[in-house]
């Protein structure tokens, strides 16, 4: 039988992180997120970026919002599921979809998941994203499809 070692405060920290992610993620392209749930030395990795520290983490979200406004007529971050995966881990399944600000109005779509790991203080110290398409496949969506006008 598995020993349950979570304290009430650890459980509350995970629940607070889940509630914050549930609120922040759907609007991350239009407004800033709440950084209070993240450790100062947060590590982030996705298929194109790897870095550490909250300052850099803030920059990546600013960059997402900036490029969303610059390159897209519309863009959405659809959250499908947020769940506690293990005692100190949260998983999020999501889809990014949008229409590029191009004469041929290319549609962009890719799905993925985020894994957030919390430290002993209940702060997220690790965020790893995986995508269901390679960066190259995602960029190929920018170009007109053959036969398109």
For residue 74, the model assigns a pLDDT of: 96
Domains in the chain (CATH in brackets) are 8-140 (3.10.450.50)
Taking residue 124's Cβ as centre, other Cβ atoms within 10 Å add up to 25
Give pTM, 2 decimals.
0.88
For residue 134, the model assigns a pLDDT of: 95
Percentage of the residues of the chain whose pLDDT score is greater than 90: 84
Greater pLDDT, 10 or 79: 79
Least confident of 3-7, 51-55, 64-68, 135-139: 3-7
User: Does 4 score more than 50 pLDDT?
Assistant: no
For residue 101, the model assigns a pLDDT of: 93
């Amino acid at each position: 039988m598995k020993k349950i070692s979570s304290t009430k405060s650890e459980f509350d920290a995970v629940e607070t992180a889940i509630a914050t992610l549930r609120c922040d993620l759907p609007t991350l392209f239009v407004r800033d997120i709440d950084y209070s749930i993240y450790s100062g030395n947060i590590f982030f990795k996705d298929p194109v970026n790897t870095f550490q520290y909250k300052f850099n983490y803030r920059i990546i979200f600013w960059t997402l919002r900036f490029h969303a406004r610059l390159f897209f007529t519309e863009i959405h971050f659809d959250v499908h599921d947020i769940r506690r995966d293990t005692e100190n881990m949260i998983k999020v399944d999501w889809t990014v979809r949008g229409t590029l600000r191009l004469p041929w109005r290319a549609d962009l779509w890719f799905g993925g998941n985020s894994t957030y790991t919390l430290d002993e203080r209940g702060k997220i110290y690790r965020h790893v994203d995986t995508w269901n398409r390679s960066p190259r496949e995602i960029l190929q969506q920018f170009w007109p499809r053959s036969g398109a006008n």
